[in-house]
Amino acid sequence: MFEAILPLPAHLREVLWTKLGPCTATSRHYGFRNPVAVGRRSCRSFSSATFRMSALAVELTAPNGRKYTQPTGLFINNEWVKSSSGAKITSINPTDESEIASVYAATPEDVDAAVAAARTALKDPSWRDLSPTERGNMMIKLSDLIGRDAEILATIETWDNGKTYADSLSIDVAEVQGTLKYYGGYADKIHGQTIDVGADKFAYTIKEPIGVCGQIIPWNFPLAMAAWKLGPALACGNTIVMKAAEQTPLSILYMANLIKEAGFPPGVINILNGYGREAGAAIATHLGIDKVAFTGSTATGKEIMKMASINMKNITLETGGKSPLIVFDDAELDQAVKWAHVGIMSNQGQICTATSRILVQDGIYDQFLDAFKAQVQEVSVVGDPFAETTFQGPQVTKSQYDRVLGFVKTGKEEGATLVSGGEAFTQGPTSGKGFFITPTIFSGVKPSMKIYREEVFGPFVVIASFKDEDEALQMANDTTYGLGSAVFTQNLTRAHRVAKRIEAGMVWINSSNDSDYRVPFGGVKQSGIGRELGEAGLAAYSQTKAVHVNLGCRL
């Protein structure tokens, strides 16, 4: 999934500090940034000419015939620039394994430049003193521009990621529009309060932005996850340095031009391509960044949490999951089957909240298993993600493809029963090329098995049985994760009782994974820290200042 971001060992950091000092790119990369320098463009001198370079882009024609101009640079201070090293990342089409385009990969030095631009913008009157209403209008304009270019953005998302075009257009891009418009409407409704503490004092609070926010985006929903983080951060008046996932950078880069067109001042939003070990680590350790928000694997989230401690950054983490879906014997079986299918097989199973553990009461276990297998075989049509009939495209990368097939092998070795799928799909549109996998169902699964406990992140589901409500809850909660969950029953009393006892940040009753940007999203245990979306998402990007006015207390 996501590369781990590992800091340099302490003894090597000391050697670098001694030999290189605090103002080199290498020493900045490993946490030795000069606090005095972060308010300037960087330790080294970056001339303004760097930010006036001509646009960096290539003309592309997507598999659906749509032509467009693809940016390939780093978006810093509202300009396209090359990376300081000249290194590039090549984006691969997961459908046929062909190269789409190469984009510049940011170094720690480039992160310094982006942070300097963001810090300058944070204090610039064109952003700092902009009325909240105007800030919100700017966000709504960006939402409208995304709607205008929805088909281009959906095309790029499908080509680069492998998700179906129908989902890219009607779900992902639509969610980006809605999220930005939602938070644009909130921008002038974020305010403090007065607090009555008696006649001798006037006390009030002010809501202020946290500052420069580093945001690290995953590859499974590139545009949507960008909007989830941009929306509340901008509404609260922060500035941003965002790193796209190295596997899927293209759609966010296209969106950067729309950011400039919407009128955002230079430096407010900076978008970098780059590897997690280099650019991601530089963001997490940068002393000029006040907050880091990350969506990705739990392992990488832990590393970011460690590195962010260098200056006690505010953090928001949305990490892994192994979400349960509980089906009681009084459930509407047809609906439970259909929602269970959506909950795990959508987006090639590459969803952090995917309900990948299905727990079925033993009285209806065989009936559910037969119906679920039939649903998967009928609906989960694997093929060209641009085709209207396709439900499941390829996995995003070869490593993800290999990971899923590796879990199939493990499941067989552990003694689980392979009900359906579990092999490479070679009848696709590209004659055996591409990262296609047939949707996989395992039954006879025990809670001790690796396939029951670990996140697979693919079209891979395990189905187990339970006797009663207590056992269902024990099995559901027997995990280090706590992101999503689902309950199917027609007994509303039981539904609410189980929802309260499940250890998860979200519970769906008689549905699965039908999230909404107006409702808080996030997990407990090792599934993350904090909440995104809804009004709760604003709390992650604002801080409260208390003001005490002495009216009559004299010493």
132-148 and 150-161 are packed helices; what angle lies between their axes, rounded to 10 degrees?
70
- Output the DSSP codes for 131-171: -HHHHHHHHHHHHHHHHHTHHHHHHHHHHHH---HHHIIII
Q: Are 337 and 510 in contact (CB under 8 A)?
A: no
Q: Are 5 and 307 in contact (CB under 8 A)?
A: yes
Amino acid making up residue 14: E
CA angle 193, 315, 160 (to 5 degrees): 120
Catalytic residue among 318, 414, 503, 535: 318
Q: For 463, which DSSP code?
A: E
Q: Which of 527, 491, 457, 479 is nearest to 361 (CA)?
A: 491
Q: Is 318 a catalytic residue?
A: yes
Q: Are 201 and 551 in contact (CB under 8 A)?
A: yes
Q: Which of 297, 253, 246 is nearest to 92 (CA)?
A: 246
List alpha helices for 312-464, DSSP H. 333-345, 365-379, 398-414, 450-453
Residues 503 and 507: their CA atoms lie apart, in Å, by 9
Residue 536 burial class via C-beta count within 10 angstroms: exposed 0-12, middle 13-18, buried 19 and up: middle
Q: How many CB atoms lie within 10 A of CB 126?
A: 12
List the catalytic residues: 318
